[in-house]
């Protein structure tokens, strides 16, 4: 079921069949007895052209999850909410990208140095100080910290930050990469310390506000809620907290425990807003005449190994990977890929965790990216770009 459709730009001679294949692949993710996701929105572009912007399935379909039957309990049919192009999704770890942009913005202004130790800015992080963890190591996931801490177990208490400050690396900083939410949680504390401002204000004033990302925010306000996609019926044992079906409240338990604003998760947004974000990065830090970063700062973010961004990861970038493509995924079913080599970008937002989390895999994300890579390849060949 397609809620909305929209395409322009390089269709026709530049590969309409390939665009249709991409769109059909995303549509199929919402179909069948056990779909990959309840609903999805895809926005693919190449330069200034929008190749596809379509929505499929349902932003809200289930009331709960039946553990005994291992299936979702559907709402009455008249209460299902179709996915639309302007549906607002929990972006999960795509939040990390905005946190990274704020960090590099601080670097531009001389308030932050990538190779200085965290202790120079936040000495209360005693474990990071003892082991010499640097800001760059947080952004490249080479701090040696483990993937996460159960901060949600002491929500609303000073104990949360105490645990984070005392958490020592498991391996020597600067060595092997280990993806960790703790890196961005610590970076959040550094950014808030050096600016004297909370992260949600920094993201608004540095990223979403200047770029006109009007529907992207932490803690969605009441006017947005009718457009927000539902996520999970959170109950133990499959979840870490008992919160019931979530809609408009951050899915990540640690972000929730921190009040909905965290360096690693918490942002909600639309595919259209994220396309503007991609446009700014592909434009060397500027979009529609508004500059948020210098071109050199964009290089810092996107050049391998990336600062906050993943680079050339075929497991979710498919055939877009290989020439410096950058992006990220989110646990709720979101992903973003941009390729400066061709000017192509892909935003795929989905609620794979509705009605409950499961091992859904990233093959569909990679397939969508591969379909876009092939469309662009045809378009460039047709234009004589080789």
Residue 11's SS3 state is coil
Q: Do the domain assignments include residue 142?
A: no
What's the length of the chain? 386
C-alpha distance from residue 79 to each of 4, 27, 38, 65, 66 (Å): 18, 21, 14, 16, 19
Q: Do the domain assignments include residue 28?
A: yes
Q: What is the DSSP string of 198-257?
A: -HHHHHIIIIITTTT-TT-EES--GGGGGGBPEEEEE-TTTSSS--EEEESS-S-HHHHH
Report the domain count for the chain: 1
Q: How far apart are CA 97 and CA 92, in angstroms?
A: 11
Beta-bridge partner residues of 336 = 328, 347
User: What number of other Cβ atoms are within 10 A of residue 120's Cβ?
Assistant: 14
Q: Do the domain assignments include residue 236?
A: yes
Q: Do the domain assignments include residue 186?
A: no
- The CATH number of residue 350's host domain is 3.40.710.10
- Consecutive 10-residue averages of pLDDT for the chain (386 residues): 48 62 96 94 94 98 96 97 98 98 98 98 95 98 97 91 95 96 98 98 98 98 97 95 97 97 98 98 97 98 97 98 97 97 97 92 96 89 63
Structure tokens at 384: 């004589």
Domain span at residue 375? 2-97+204-382
Q: What is the pLDDT of residues 272-290, one digit of tens each?
A: 999 999 999 999 999 999 9
The set of residues, in sequence order, having a beta carbon less than 8 Å from that of 271 and lying 6+ positions away, is 41, 42, 43, 53, 85, 347, 348, 349
pTM attached to this predicted model: 0.95
Tell me what pLDDT residue 47 has.
87
Tell me what pLDDT residue 314 has.
98
Q: Do the domain assignments include residue 322?
A: yes
Q: Do the domain assignments include residue 335?
A: yes
Q: Do the domain assignments include residue 122?
A: no
Q: Do the domain assignments include residue 141?
A: no
């Amino acid at each position: 079921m397609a809620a909305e459709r929209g395409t322009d730009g390089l269709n026709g001679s530049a590969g309409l069949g390939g665009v249709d294949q991409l769109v059909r692949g995303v549509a199929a993710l919402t179909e069948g007895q056990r779909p990959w996701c309840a609903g999805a929105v895809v926005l693919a572009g190449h330069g200034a052209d929008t190749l596809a912007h379509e929505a499929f399935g349902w932003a809200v379909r289930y009331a709960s999850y039946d553990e005994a039957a291992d299936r979702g309990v559907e709402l009455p049919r008249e209460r299902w909410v179709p996915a639309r192009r302007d549906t607002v999704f929990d972006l999960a770890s795509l939040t990390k990208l905005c946190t990274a942009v704020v960090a590099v913005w601080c670097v531009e202004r001389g308030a932050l140095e990538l190779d200085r130790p965290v202790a120079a800015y936040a000495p209360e992080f005693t474990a990071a100080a003892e082991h010499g963890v640097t800001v760059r190591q947080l952004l490249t996931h080479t701090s040696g910290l483990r993937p996460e801490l159960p901060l949600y177990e002491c929500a609303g208490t000073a104990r949360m930050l105490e645990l984070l400050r005392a958490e020592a690396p498991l391996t020597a900083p600067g060595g092997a990469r280990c993806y960790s939410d703790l890196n961005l949680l610590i970076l959040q504390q550094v950014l808030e310390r050096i600016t004297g401002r909370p992260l949600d204000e920094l993201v608004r004033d540095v990223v979403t506000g200047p770029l006109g990302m009007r529907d992207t925010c932490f803690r969605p306000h009441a006017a947005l809620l009718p457009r927000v996609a539902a996520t999970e019926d959170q109950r133990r044992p499959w979840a870490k907290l008992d919160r019931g079906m979530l809609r408009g409240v951050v899915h990540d338990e640690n972000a929730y425990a921190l009040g909905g604003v965290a360096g690693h998760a918490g942002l909600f947004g639309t595919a259209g807003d994220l396309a503007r974000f991609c446009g700014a990065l592909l434009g060397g830090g500027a979009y529609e005449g508004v500059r948020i970063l210098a071109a050199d700062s964009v290089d810092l973010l996107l050049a391998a190994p990336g600062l906050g961004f993943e680079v050339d990861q075929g497991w979710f970038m498919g055939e877009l990977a290989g020439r410096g493509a950058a992006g990220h995924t989110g646990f709720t079913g979101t992903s973003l890929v941009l390729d400066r080599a061709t000017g192509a970008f892909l935003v795929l937002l989905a609620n794979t965790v509705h009605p409950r989390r499961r091992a859904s895999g990233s093959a569909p994300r990679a397939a969508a990216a591969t379909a876009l890579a092939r469309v662009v390849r045809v378009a460039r060949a047709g234009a004589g770009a080789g």
